[in-house]
Amino acid sequence: MKPRVLIARRAPAAVVERLSAHFDVDCHAGEAPLAPDELRARLAGKAGAYITGTERITAELLDACPGLRAVCTMTVGYNHIDLAACTARGVLVTHTPDVLTETTADFGFALLMATARRMSEGERLLRDGGWKSWAWDFLAGADVYNTTLGILGMGRIGQAIARRGRFGFGMQLVYHNRSRLAADIEAELGARHVAKDELLRQADHLVLVLPYSAESHHCIAAAELALMKPTATLVNIARGGIVDEDALAAALRERRIAAAGLDVFEGEPRVNPALLSLPNVVLTPHIASATLPTRLAMAGLAADNLVAALTGATPPTPLNPEVLSA
Ligand code: DGY
């Protein structure tokens, strides 16, 4: 008998076909994510779960599904999965790093540019018939070329954004990360590791690319925003919970920072109404990795992981490989 797996969100046909060749597949084909109790019911008796960032894998869920052996998420971030609880129960977890790095960095930089150069504000004004004539300060924004790019979280995506800033836009780079980059990478990027407060003070454009955890929850709040330049822009492509959105809305409203570009939100897809009403914030619906080739690569890698995990092979990108050797 084939192992039973759940594909918890609509997936590319090639993925469903590939998984069906190995497993007895239960596919949730609806557009809305399964509610937690539906997810629990559909996962009962399954050996594998193919999920996205909208499915929360908790200790309670794992206890209700003791047959589960692998959770494969089609995301690089994994804050929706209780990794420690999975490891404690011998459940292998995999994610999809690398295949989305350059696409996500492209988007991070595009959001920085759109924010600094007031693109959304300009388009809204034009569509609303508000473009009357030229004026010297009409929609004047902030320079990007030869300014200081700050990066909080210098993993793969942070480094890819740094390369764009350094080699494409002649930017000076400052960053803060738990661990410092190797000296040769720092030298290649011309990147200086600084304390978080210093990063906030120095950056003309600050991009958040750090993982979300209890430690990084609201790590950009009123006190941090108060350290930033009044001309600075803030871009978040990591997770919404990293930023205290009420504090950010107040800083934007009072022009204590110039502008923000946000692709992620605490409680998404709900967006804090205080942000929706502000002109100096560019809002996008969590699409930093959303190009067709990249999403297909992510979906394919998650499928490779699930097949390997349940057929005794080594999955390409495990998060808790210790489960494999246990
Ligand atoms: C990721 O891969 O973590 C993205 O945020 C999901 O779209």
Complete domains list, the chain, with CATH = 4-99+292-325 (3.40.50.720), 101-283 (3.40.50.720)
Average pLDDT for 230-255: 98
What's the 174 CA to ligand 1 centre distance in angstroms? 24
pLDDT at 127: 98
Tokens linked to 75 = 């995301």
pLDDT at 241: 98
Active site residue 60: no
Amino acid at 308: A
**Residue 91 in 3-state DSSP?**
coil
- Global pTM reads 0.97
Residues 100, 289 contacting (CB under 8 angstroms)? yes
Confidence of residue 326 (pLDDT cuts 50, 70, 90): confident
Active site residue 286: yes
Tens-place pLDDT, residues 47-103: 999 999 999 999 999 999 999 999 999 999 999 999 999 999 999 999 999 999 999
pLDDT at 99: 98
Atom 1 of ligand 1: nearest residue by CA position: 75
Average pLDDT for 234-252: 98
Name the active-site residue from 22, 89, 217, 286.
286
- Tell me how far apart the alpha carbons of residues 100 and 300 are, in angstroms, rounded to a whole number: 12
Active site residue 239: yes
What mean pLDDT is reported for the chain?
A: 98
Residue 238 pLDDT > 90 = yes
pLDDT at 198: 98
Can you tell me which atom of ligand 1 is nearest the CA of 289? 7
- Tell me how far apart the alpha carbons of residues 100 and 120 are, in angstroms, rounded to a whole number: 25
